[in-house]
Amino acid sequence: MPLTLSRIRTSSSVSPDGRWFAQTLMIGRFLPGEDEQHRTHLAVSRRDDSRHWGVVDDPLRCGLGYTVPSAFHWPVDKRYLDFTNLPRPDGCAVFVNGSDLHRVSLADGDVSTVLADGPW
């Protein structure tokens, strides 16, 4: 089925030493006769192309809103990238907390949860 309308949003972040690059994509799709859908993607790559980690690749449905992964902090030790899921509320911000924190290892791409999203 052909798309009637697509929307792409991107954001990026470069590590302080300039060796790593993180990019977030949010692709919104509007299909005839269906609800709006979107997909989020977060990738982290070395600038010399020696390593690439696909960290997040989630198909999500919009409803009360959605979250988009976003680079949050490059620690000084240069071993991790901390990221969070930023809320994009759709009229009901109360249901979108956006208080989580995750860490991706730049050595092997493993993701761990530092702080789970929860009712605060």
Q: What is the pLDDT of residue 1?
A: 45
From CA 109, how far away is CA 16, in angstroms rounded?
A: 19
**Residue 59: closest CA among 29, 37, 30:** 37
The pLDDT score that the predictor gives to residue 3 is: 47
End-to-end CA distance of the chain: give it in Å, rounded: 42
Q: Which residues pair with 20 in a beta bridge?
A: 46
Per-domain residue ranges of the chain: 5-115
pLDDT digits (tens, 9 = 90+) for 35-62: 667 788 899 999 998 999 999 888 765 6
Q: Is the pLDDT higher at 55 or at 67? A: 55
- Prediction pTM value: 0.76
Q: In the beta sheet, which residues pair with residue 41?
A: 25, 57
Q: What is the DSSP letter of 95?
A: G
